[in-house]
């Protein structure tokens, strides 16, 4: 939804083990990052980068969009006004799993963004028609 932060993490399966670091604290005996030489990189679509802002103090990503290669986490920024998109033109990001310098797997993810209802009650602030 417009005004929300775009960030996340990927669950990564290497062999029989699935790694995911989306917990506040990693459990005892659990790895805190992907084992060497594995790493994940994220590429953000141009439209996604164009419609996010990374203002200091907005509670989201500060600075430039990026990722943590060893924890498979990414951050882009806060979706601005007019960032809503539908199924006909979704945002995208690409996740790439590397073993050392060798690309092992790549997946592209698409997603839509909802408009924030404005003060008039309907989408974009337009008054909601009577029933």
pTM of the full structure? 0.76
Instruction: Measure the CA–CA gap between 105 and 93, rounded to whole angstroms.
Output: 14
Indicate whether 38 belongs to any domain: yes
Model confidence pLDDT, tens digit, residues 44-63: 999 998 888 876 655 676 66
Query: What's the number of domains the chain is made of?
Result: 1
Indicate whether 43 belongs to any domain: yes
Indicate whether 117 belongs to any domain: no
Indicate whether 78 belongs to any domain: yes
Report angle CA 17, 104, 96 to the nearest 5 degrees. 90
pLDDT at 128: 40
Q: Who has greater pLDDT, 57 or 38?
A: 38
Range of the domain at 20: 5-111
Nearest alpha carbon to residue 2 among 112, 110, 109: 112
Model confidence pLDDT, tens digit, residues 59-88: 676 668 899 999 999 999 888 888 888 899
Instruction: Measure the CA–CA gap between 42 and 93, rounded to whole angstroms.
Output: 7
Tokens standing for residue 9: 């993490």
Indicate whether 129 belongs to any domain: no
Model confidence pLDDT, tens digit, residues 83-127: 888 899 999 999 999 999 999 999 999 999 888 765 544 444 444
Kindly give, in sequence order, each residue whose CB lies less than 8 Å from that of residue 52, ignoring residues fewer than 6 positions away: 6, 65, 76, 77, 78, 79, 80, 83
Indicate whether 17 belongs to any domain: yes
């Amino acid at each position: 939804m417009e005004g929300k932060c775009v960030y996340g993490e990927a669950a990564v399966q290497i062999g029989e083990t699935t790694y995911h670091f989306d917990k506040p604290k990693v459990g005892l005996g659990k790895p805190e990052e992907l084992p060497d030489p594995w790493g994940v990189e994220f590429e953000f679509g141009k439209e996604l980068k164009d419609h996010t802002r990374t203002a200091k103090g907005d509670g989201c990503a500060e600075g430039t969009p990026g990722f943590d290669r060893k924890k498979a986490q990414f951050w882009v920024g806060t979706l601005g006004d007019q960032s809503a998109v539908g199924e006909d033109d979704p945002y995208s990001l690409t996740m790439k799993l590397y073993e050392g310098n060798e690309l092992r797997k790549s997946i592209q993810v698409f997603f839509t963004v909802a408009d924030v209802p404005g003060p008039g009650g309907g989408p974009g602030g337009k008054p909601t028609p009577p029933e």
